[in-house]
Amino acid sequence: MPPLDGVAARTLTGITGAEIPLPDPGRLTHLQFRRFAGCPVCNLHLRSVVARLHEIRAAGIREVVVFHSSAAELRKYTGDLPLDVIADPDRRLYREFGVETGARALLDPRGWGTITRAIATELPGRRGERPAPPARPEGGRLGLPADFLIHPGGTVLAAKFGAYADDQWSVGELLAVAARHSASTTPIPVPTSEE
């Protein structure tokens, strides 16, 4: 669970070396916790984010994506994405925000269709500009996704803790959560991972 008293302001370093403020002082921050560098499910999801990035930015949202892999490994798979990508191989941010790992990441049948589609999309030859997913990913395969919408002042307005590999906000859900925030000055309650 994220800190209920807010997210302390800090500057993170992206995989390109860029400084990334968390939270962004001028707009909402969508802090995404993904799995490992080269994760087919994560890549499929991030491509959907990039496809609608103009809508996300128009809604006043900055995308910040965290992986539990090294910057060198991430550059192989995400270096072409117009997103702020953070390497967190020691899982410091994961622990701070209560983002978990578990076998259910892969064993929950609700994610199997997307896992199959993502693997087929990421096979060599289909997306020749990137290497195939790693056989032994840094940090393992059992990471769970999570999403946080953070106010410029640091308040966590909404959160989603994924129950399986593909359980994250879609772009439509993100925009709806942000619109609810814009329509109300009351922060949205932060659900626990059990809800």
CA angle 80, 145, 81 (to 5 degrees): 10
pLDDT at res. 185: 45
Distance separating alpha carbons of residues 182 and 7, to the nearest angstrom: 19
The pLDDT assigned to 133 comes to 65
Per-residue pLDDT of the chain (195 residues; tens, 9 = 90+): 455 568 999 999 999 999 999 999 999 999 999 988 877 877 888 888 999 999 999 999 999 999 999 999 889 888 788 999 999 999 999 999 989 766 555 555 565 556 566 566 665 544 556 666 666 767 666 778 999 999 999 999 999 998 887 889 999 999 999 998 875 544 444 444 444
Q: Which residues pair with 10 in a beta bridge?
A: 22
* Euclidean distance between CA atoms 53 and 195, whole angstroms: 29
Whole-number pLDDT of residue 191: 40
In the chain, where are the structural domains located?
26-183
Residues making up the chain, counted from first to last: 195
Q: pTM score > 0.85 for this model?
A: no
pLDDT tens-place string over residues 14-62: 999 999 999 999 999 999 999 888 778 778 888 889 999 999 999 999 9
Buried b / exposed e along 93-119 (16+ C-beta atoms within 10 A):
bbeebbbbbeebbeebeebeebbeebe
Is 48:169 a contact under the CB 8 Å cutoff? no
CATH 2.60.40.10 fits 26-183, yes or no: no
